[in-house]
Amino acid sequence: MKKKSIFWAALIGTAVLTACGGKTPAAEGTKGTEAAAKESTAQAAAKAPEKETKNLEPLKVGASPSPHAEILNAVKDALAERGYALQVMEYTDYVQPNLALDSGEIDANYYQHVPYLLNFCKERGTKLVSAGAIHYEPFAIYGGKSKDLSAVPDGAKIAVPNDVTNEARALLLLADQGLIKLKDNTDVNATKQDITENPKHLEIIEVEAAQIPRSLKDVDFGVVNGNFALSAGLQISDALALEKADSVAAKTYSNVIAVREGEEQSEKTKALMEVLTSDSVKELIEKKYKGSVLPSF
């Protein structure tokens, strides 16, 4: 009888511990999308490394799924040879990777260009800097309800990213195609207020960048970030227009490794930059992405 009592006490204790330790999505729902993203990040961090890493120093890098995380995963072995166990933390938004870096949850991130980084730091008060450029993703115009830029219907709806720097980039591409005209000397800070001519009465709709591929069915055209085009399975060969390789955008919008200010020359950062700017990574980018991603080194 005593043995049975001990058994049931242990069983009840286990159930209580399980109930206390497990939080459901509903219980956390009121904390909003940022909390959900952090929870997702924590789960990713908890996954066991694929290889033995007990003698390696952890190196956590936040990244967009494609192409950033794919490129990072390709250099895990090279970093292991330098003494680091790379953990790639995937994010699907443009806010959490910088917040995680600023808070010290990760050591670096790889998903953004310098104009976005500078604007983020200005708005959020963070002190993050670029450690160097890795690749460039040409912005492209893709067809939705309409498929021909030479026959754009009057009042056509065009989806563009809703963040400041990427919207400017989209507007510059539309201007380059002759669909709108911007004020003279307009640069990477362009906004819709800088449009001086809109002969087709285009309705420019601001959409969260990651959602534009899904929105193509509802608009005539969409201007899509290269990484989100890749993630959505859009083919660069289907693009109706691309940023020119010698454009201001190509020189300005290379994706960089971001770190906390003062850590640009840390041993971790130097090792990460060394492997990401190697000839093998350059070859990988050129062969794997076939023009939708281009090396910046």
pTM for the structure as a whole: 0.67
Residue 131 has which token pair?
């450690």
For strands 128-136 and 255-260, give the pairing. antiparallel
Q: What is the CATH number of domain 140-252?
A: 3.40.190.10
- Distance between CA atoms of 99 and 279, rounded to whole angstroms? 31
Please state the domain extents for the chain. Answer: 35-137+254-295, 140-252
- Distance between CA atoms of 253 and 243, rounded to whole angstroms? 11
At 219-243, the pLDDT tens digits run 999 999 988 998 899 999 999 999 9
Half-sphere exposure in the Cβ direction for 90 (13 Å, CA): 14
279 backbone dihedrals φ, ψ, rounded to 5°: -60, -35
| Fold classification of 35-137+254-295 (topology level) | D-Maltodextrin-Binding Protein; domain 2 (3.40.190)
DSSP codes joined into one string, 48-66: PPSS--TTSEEEEEEE-II
Domains 35-137+254-295 and 140-252 are alike in CATH topology: yes
Cβ neighbours of residue 78 under 8 Å, at least 6 residues apart?
275, 278, 280
- Distance between CA atoms of 75 and 138, rounded to whole angstroms? 23
In the numeric block, the tokens 């420019």 are attached to 204
Q: Which one-letter amino acid corresponds to residue 229? A: A
In the numeric block, the tokens 């956390």 are attached to 28
Range list of β-strands (E), the chain: 57-63, 84-90, 108-113, 128-136, 140-143, 157-161, 181-182, 195-197, 203-207, 221-224, 241-242, 255-260, 294-295
Residue 270 has which token pair?
């130097």
- CB of 140 closer than 8 Å to CB of 224: yes
278 backbone dihedrals φ, ψ, rounded to 5°: -80, 165
pLDDT at 250: 77
Q: Per residue of the chain (297 residues), what is the pLDDT tens digit?
A: 444 444 334 433 433 333 333 333 333 333 344 444 444 444 444 444 444 557 999 999 999 999 999 999 999 999 999 999 999 999 999 999 999 999 999 999 999 999 899 999 999 999 999 999 999 989 999 999 999 999 999 999 999 999 888 999 999 999 999 999 999 988 778 999 999 999 999 999 999 999 999 999 999 999 999 889 988 999 999 999 999 877 777 788 899 999 999 999 999 999 999 999 999 999 999 999 988 899 999
For residue 67, whether the previous peptide bond is cis, meaning omega lies within 30 degrees of 0, is yes
For residues 159-180, one letter each, b for 16 or more C-beta atoms within 10 angstroms of the residue's C-beta and e for the rest, the string is: bbbebbbbbbbbbbbbbbeebb
At 114-170, the pLDDT tens digits run 989 999 999 999 999 999 999 998 999 999 999 999 999 999 999 999 988 899 999
Residue 12 has which token pair?
């009840």
- CB of 74 closer than 8 Å to CB of 281: yes
Computed from CA positions of residues 27, 92, 271, 125, in that sequence, does the dihedral angle turn out positive or negative?
Answer: negative
